[in-house]
Amino acid sequence: MNKMAIVGAGSMAEAFISGILENGLMDKKNIWVTNNSNQERLTKLGELYGIQNTYDLSKLFEGANIVMLAMKPKDAASAIAYIREYLSKDMLIISVLAGVSMNTIEALADKPLSIARAMPNTSAAVGKSATAIAVNERVSEQQLETTQKLFETVGMAAFVDENQLDAVTGLSGSGPAYIYYLIEAMEKSAVEIGLEPQMGKELIVQTLIGAAEMVKNSHKSPEQLRREVTSPGGTTEAGVNVLEDHGVQQAFISCIKAAATQSRKMGDALCAHLKVGKSS
């Protein structure tokens, strides 16, 4: 890897900068970042990580073989139009723009590009993202390997077809929020049953970590693991029965389907606005 130019300087861009440097994947002098107009943000990233920042596009893209598109999706059209003369077919274009298809990016750039489109989640900030990646036919084997290495600096990474990314958005892209929602409920219940808030939080967090590790490392299904701790007439059964009575499992299924559907709608709306096709 020679040089990466990052367009956009939000939390996802910062997560990647941190992950890349912590894993020694690239030297800080070879990571360059820019944004629309927030010089204070660029200065802060420079001070924190020792990376380079500039509004001079010639400097930003000179020698860059990787370009990350990390601006807000609504700003994609104007941002890509602004930088497109600097983009070339030899560069690996990495996009973390939700709902913006690879077809859309090429149409906005008005040229064929090697594109990897990814859907990470906010857990990238702590190196625990679940990221799905789709690539177009122009991505080389070396670029594919580079893409995987980059996303593995912020968690796990798996390759999918682009038409699966809306489903991924509903499941793991939005997934952290569903878990936070569950934690909120568990914290409220901890207080109501007489536990101190901090103690309740510690117990909840460790319970979730432990359960996740069990699912990850066991050959047993989540259903089997649940049944093994649900003794007839016991405390767990009493709790699970309430969840069943309230249709919690079906609610989560409906929740994920709704998020995936909304991702498709947002992507379609953006493509319609930009007058380009959605799929590659």
Domain harbouring 89, CATH code: 3.40.50.720
State what percent of residues in the chain have pLDDT above 70.
97
pLDDT of residue 280: 43
Residues 44 and 151 in one domain: yes
Residues 206 and 117 in one domain: no
Residues 181 and 247 in one domain: yes
* pLDDT tier at 279, thresholds 50, 70, 90: very low
The verdict on residue 252 lying in a domain is yes
Residues 69 and 128 in one domain: yes
The verdict on residue 270 lying in a domain is no
* pLDDT tier at 148, thresholds 50, 70, 90: very high
Residues 60 and 130 in one domain: yes
Residues 132 and 187 in one domain: no
pLDDT of residue 277: 53
pTM score over 0.95: no
Report pLDDT digits (tens) over 16-64: 999 999 999 999 999 999 999 899 999 999 999 999 999 999 999 999 9
For the segment 231-258, the average pLDDT, to the nearest whole number, is 97
For the segment 101-111, the average pLDDT, to the nearest whole number, is 93
Cα-based angle 277, 120, 148 (whole degrees, multiple of 5)? 95
- Domain range for 231 is 173-258
pLDDT of residue 274: 65
Which distant-in-sequence residues (6+ apart) come within 8 Å of 186 by Cβ? 200, 204
* pLDDT tier at 7, thresholds 50, 70, 90: very high
Six-digit token string for 223? 């259903």
For the segment 218-246, the average pLDDT, to the nearest whole number, is 97
What are the helix and strand counts (H, E) for the chain? 12, 8
Residues 97 and 12 in one domain: yes
State what percent of residues in the chain have pLDDT above 90.
89
DSSP state of 160: -
For the segment 228-250, the average pLDDT, to the nearest whole number, is 97
pLDDT of residue 66: 98
Q: 71 with 36: CB under 8 angstroms? A: yes
Residues 103 and 195 in one domain: no
The verdict on residue 33 lying in a domain is yes
Residues 192 and 153 in one domain: no
Q: Looking at the 3D structure of the chain, how many domains does it have?
A: 2
Residues 11 and 146 in one domain: yes
The verdict on residue 274 lying in a domain is no
**CATH number of residue 204's parent domain:** 1.10.3730.10
Residues 65 and 119 in one domain: yes
Residues 252 and 178 in one domain: yes
